[in-house]
Amino acid sequence: MKTAFRLLPALALAFTLGCAQPVATAQQPQTDLPRVKLSAGMHQIDAQVARTSDQRATGLMWRQEMPQHEGMLFVFEQPSVQCFWMMNTLLPLSAAFLEDDGTIVNLADMQPRSTQSHCSARPVRYVLEMHQGWFAKRGLKAGDKLAGEVFRK
């Protein structure tokens, strides 16, 4: 008990001077990734591009808001079945699993803070996350095609 009382003045001084750090700091969203312009017919998308494993692992986690026309494009080195979950993601999202030419393979609506896995129906290199319902509101479905420089080879 005496040890705790000895620490109180030191802690009070640290807080007063602004030197104390919280025990657990909030994670920061990544908002400075390179961007690419995509389109779905007349609808324009401003997508951050997550290319590295660290960028893809963080994705849209910790984002509390995002403009309706923005999203994140996940780019993988090789086509494979891609699975996404939303453990630390605060926004409800829809994911479009995309072929190399931008064709939508399948769509998945994902709930915030969930560990439920959502996977591509077949191997893909690209996954585009947008606000939940973005694709449905625009009538986009499997077989429709997105356009953008990233899909041109």
The model's pLDDT over 67-121, given as tens digits with 9 standing for 90+, comes to: 999 999 999 999 999 999 999 999 999 999 999 999 999 999 999 999 999 999 9
Domains detected in the chain: 31-151 (2.60.120.1140)
pLDDT of residue 27: 82
One-letter amino acid identity for 32? D
56, 33 in Cβ contact below 8 A?
no
pTM over 0.85: no
Report pLDDT digits (tens) over 14-32: 333 443 333 334 588 999 9
Q: Which residues of 126-147 are buried (b: 16+ CB within 10 A; e: fewer)?
A: bbbbbbbebbeeeebeeebebe
